[in-house]
Each structure stands twice: as structure tokens, then as C-alpha cells.
Amino acid sequence: MNNTPDPHIAFLSGLTGRYKIAALSALAFICGAVMVAAMPPWHLWPALMLGFSGFYLLLARCDSARTSFLYGWGFGFGYFLCSLSWIANALLVEGNDFSWVWPLAIAGLPAGLALFYGFAAMAVSRLTARYGGLGSGYGYSLFIAIFMIAEWLRGHIFTGFPWNLYGYSLAHSDPLSQLAAYGGVYWLSLLSLCLAALPGFLMIWQQRTALKAGILCGVIILVFTAIAGGQYRLARYPATFHDDLVVRLVQPNIAQEDKWRAEMATANLRTLLDLSTARMPDTIRPYKTLIIWPETAITDFALQNENASTAILRMLESYDGQATLLSGVLRYQDSDDHRHYFNSLVAYDTQLQPLHVFDKAHLVPFGEYVPFGDILSMVPFVNHTGFVAGDGLATAAIDSVPPYSPLVCYEIIFPGKAVLPGDRPQWIVNVTNDAWYGDSGGPRQHFTKARFRAIEEGLPVVRSANTGISGVIDPLGRVVHNIPLMTRAAPDIALPRPLPHVTLFARYGNLLFWATLLLLLLPVALHEAQRIRRP
């Protein structure tokens, strides 16, 4: 790495040894923490540039792989600690006996995710040393490529957790978000990282000022071209709706501490029924109604109760037109002296007969199942043996309802995993319960992920949350209607139609992402090939 004095961190010149490494690691942590402001609900995109360019300058000063790892880990820990702190709110729900685990919960996951950035920084340090460090064009390309590979890995290995990918920082801009229709959010993240790290690179790149200014002008032109293209796409495809189908989107806003209390079961069901019953004078409807209840709104135990099932039947019978209930259900099956539980999304007809059953396949580690569950048990912590995973993506085709892709809770956060390949639906249903996380950034970030799945797939998304942000999103990611956090409501909303064609991302997945990544690495590959050919 380049060891010449760097004026951008000259204030640390008096520090040496461990103290300097500690100070720079703390500065890397701050750079990561700053980037969180670019994500929902703040949407301050320049924060991504400030954080990544600052980290770029710090990493350029590293003189060993070990210190690079420390800086990278500190950078990642700052980013994930501040952007995922809301996860620990689940342990603060009234009546939870395990609030003492809060410090581990708030720091454990960010510390683990930060390892991806630590190893990425170490790889950057080792690989760029032979090309003049991060102050060279080769170094910049390698930095972008390696950190995006790290992002892809954290979104895929160990079941994956692609939360707050860099591309989500552009959620505030509908035109720029349209780029996800072509290459997905990983490609958009790659482009975002190129922009965010560019100022840091230009500050240490030993080239003429005129050349740097020319590059900045070119980037600005490309950004405005992307905005114009996005605006054209938005204007070309105005939202269209089914004229014979209405969604009753139910958000009961039941407090998490009350959701599973036995003495509240009747009141909770009554809330759902009151919100779902056909309204006068609109009882006679010439159209079909889809009533959508959130994740685990009811249980198999409740459906076996005659009073509860009769009440649900009466609610469905209140509609003179055809009505279908899509509800999150806590299901169970008994077999061989074992009771197996499923987190499901079930469609019911007016006789409360199941038309389609989807069992959540992508379960939350340590929340819905424990890895190596034959050794570790969830019972001491949640009085529950965990859920059984379903078979995976499905397209539900039931009478009088356009085929849909059912997704439960955080299954909506996985790019390219929202629709069954080869059996394309016309819309996506996502049921969830974000009441665990209170009034925090988590539910807002979760809703943003649903918007991007709509853009990527060119399909409308209907999202029902116990509380969180429920809403109807058109196939270009525009929010047709949403129910704010901590609000009880059940609006009737027309179901949007899908795009008339399949998006590039829906057809080819992350192809554009990988092609761009290879393009970034091409100069390095050509340089190596030329070096090998030299005598």
C-alpha cells in the first residue's frame, strides 16, 4: 500500500502503533454507521458516498492485511449495528423473559455480518498491492468487485441475509429504482457502490485534474440519463387495475404482547372480523373480493373451535359477491407422536375450505428454526419446537383469482426468489408481522424490499401486516395505497395488473450484475495476461 502522508487523515499523524490502528478502526466504524442514513426511512443518499469514500481513504492507508481486516470489520460493524439495531426490539416485547439477551442480539448479528466486510477488505489489501494500491484504476475496480462479491455472499450463504443492500439507498427515487427491472437490486447496488466510492478514489488518484473533472461530468450525465430513462418508463406504463376484483387489505394492529395471550384470542379475532365484514351500503358488489389477513392471523386451533369458525363463515357470507380469504395461519400436523408446525398462507373459499396451502420455506434462523436443531432446541427460549420448512416457491391457481405467488414475512427480501420459474403468476402476496419491531426503521425497510420485488418482477405486490406497513404496490414499485405503521385499517383497493411483458431481470436474473462485475475485472485480467506473456 501507499505509505506517503495522507492529508485527509493528517490529524492522526501523532498517533502510532496500536493507538493509531484503534483510532482508524473507530473511524472506519463511524464511516459504516454514517451510511445507514442513506437507507429507509431517511433516504439521505449522499451518506452512502460520505461513508464509502471515507472508508476508501482509510483502507488506502493500510500497510497489512491484518489491519485491513480490522478496518473492514469495524466498517461493517458500524453499518450493520446501526441499520439492524431494531431487530433486538423483539426481545423488549412486554412479557418476554429473555430481555437479558438484548445486548447479544443487538451486537451478535452485526458482528457476524461484519466478517464479510473484514475479509473483503483483507482481500482488497492483498490483491491491490501489486497494482499500486487503491490509488490506481486497477485498485478501484478490485475494490468494487470484491465488496460486491462479499455482498452477494452475505445474501446467499448460511440461508442468506440480503438486508439493506446498497441499491436500496435509491428507493427514494422512483426513476432510478427502475434500473432494478433490468439487473435487479444487486446490479443497482454495484452501480451505487461505484458512485459512492468514486470521490474517495479520485482524491488519491494521481492524474490530472482535468481528467478527474471529465470523469465526474461523465458520471453526472449517466445519472441524469438514468433518471430520464426511468421517468420515461414510469410514464409509459401507468398503473392499470382489474375492474372486477377488489382487495380488502386488513391491518389489525394487534400489539405483539397481546397477540398470543389466550385471554385476548376472542378480542383479536373480533378485530379481524370487524375489519373484514362487508360494509353497508356496499354489501352488494358486482365484483370479487379478496380479504387478506396478515401472518399467523389465525391458527388451526382457532379454526377447530366451532364459535370461531362460525364467526369467520358469517364474515365471508356478508359478501353478496364472491369472496376469498387469504390468511396467514399457524398450522400443525400430527405424525408419529410428533406435532409439526408450519407458518403458512392459506386461501379459503366461502365455506372455509382450503383452496391452496403454502408453507413458508425460507425460515428465519434462530427465530423460526435452529440450525442443527437435533443438538440445539428452541424450547428453553420460546417454548416452541420451531417450524418445518415448506417445499419452496409456488404459484397458487384458484378459481376466479389471478394466479399469485405467496410469500410469508421475510421471504420477500430475496431478489430473484419471489416467483416460481416457469410458472409465472400475475401478482405477489406477502403477509407479515412487523409488530415485533415497534416504531423503528425495520418495518419501513421491509416495505422497501417489497417495492423492489415488484419492480424486478414486473408484478404488483399486495402486502398485509399485523402492523408494519401494509400496502398495494404496482409493477413499477409505485405505492398505490399504504397503511401506516401502528394503524388499524382495512381499505378496499383495486388489484393492479402486471406489466404486459416480462422484465429483463425476471427473464435473466442477475446476468447483468455478473456481466458488469466481469467488465470491472477485465482490465485486471488483461494486465495479468500481458504480464504473463512478457519474457
pLDDT at 468 over 60: yes
At residue 104, the pLDDT reads 74
**Chain center to CA of 530:** 42
Distance CA 479, CA 83 (A): 23
Closest CA relative to residue 449, chosen from 136, 103, 248, 189: 189
DSSP state of 285: -
Side chain identity at residue 173, one-letter code: S
Closest CA relative to residue 122, chosen from 56, 193, 73: 73
Closest CA relative to residue 10, chosen from 20, 1, 2, 19: 20
Q: Give the domain range for residue 380.
A: 241-499
pLDDT at 489 over 50: yes
Q: 3-state secondary structure string, 368-384?
A: CECCCCCCCCCHHHHCC
Are 123 and 260 within one domain? no
Q: What share of the chain is helix, strand, coil (3-state, %, to 5)?
A: 55, 15, 30
> Do the domain assignments include residue 505?
no
User: Beta-carbon neighbour count of residue 444 at 10 Å?
Assistant: 21
Q: Which of 288, 360, 417, 449 is catalytic?
A: 360
At residue 1, the pLDDT reads 47
Cell of 231: 421517468
Which residue shows C-alpha cell 404496490?
473
pLDDT at 7 over 80: no
Are 202 and 336 within one domain? no
> Do the domain assignments include residue 153?
yes
> Do the domain assignments include residue 2?
no
Are 123 and 31 within one domain? yes
Distance CA 378, CA 376 (A): 7
> Do the domain assignments include residue 395?
yes
Buried b (16+ CB within 10 A) or exposed e, 462-485: bbbbbbbbbbbbbbbbbbbbbbeb
pLDDT at 375 over 90: no
Q: Is 368 a catalytic residue?
A: no
- Rounded average pLDDT over 458-487: 97
Q: With beta carbons less than 8 A apart as the criterion, state whether 98 and 46 touch.
A: no
State pLDDT tens for residues 325-350: 999 999 999 987 889 999 999 999 99
pLDDT at 11 over 80: no
Are 45 and 105 within one domain? yes
Are 225 and 135 within one domain? yes
State pLDDT tens for residues 216-242: 999 999 999 999 999 999 999 999 999
State pLDDT tens for residues 513-530: 999 999 999 999 998 888
Q: Could you give the residue ranges of the DSSP H alpha helices within 349-440?
A: 379-382
Closest CA relative to residue 451, chosen from 163, 168, 188, 229: 168
Which CATH number goes with the domain that contains 432? 3.60.110.10
> Do the domain assignments include residue 169?
yes
At residue 480, the pLDDT reads 97
pTM passes above 0.85: yes
Give the relative orientation of helices 65-83 and 46-60 as an angle to the nearest 10 degrees.
160
DSSP sequence for 119-178: HHHHHHHHHHGGGTGGGSHHHHHHHHHHHHHHHHHHTTGGG---TT-GGGGGTT-HHHHT
- Proportion of the chain above pLDDT 70, given as a percent: 90
Distance CA 202, CA 189 (A): 20
Q: Which of 151, 295, 456, 457 is catalytic?
A: 295
Rounded to 5°, the CA angle 269-409-176 comes to 130
Higher model confidence: residue 214 or residue 284?
Answer: 214
Are 196 and 298 within one domain? no
At residue 292, the pLDDT reads 98
The verdict on whether omega for the bond into residue 281 sits within 30 degrees of 0, i.e. cis, is yes
At residue 380, the pLDDT reads 46
Tell me how many domains the chain contains.
2
Are 98 and 146 within one domain? yes
Q: Is 151 a catalytic residue?
A: no
Non-local CB neighbours of 341 within 8 Å, separated by 6+ positions: 330, 331, 332, 384, 385, 386, 387, 388
> Do the domain assignments include residue 481?
yes
Are 257 and 214 within one domain? no
Q: Which of 151, 368, 409, 411 is catalytic?
A: 409
pLDDT at 437 over 60: yes
> Do the domain assignments include residue 59?
yes
State pLDDT tens for residues 83-102: 999 988 776 666 665 666 66
Q: Is 360 a catalytic residue?
A: yes
What's the chain's average pLDDT?
91
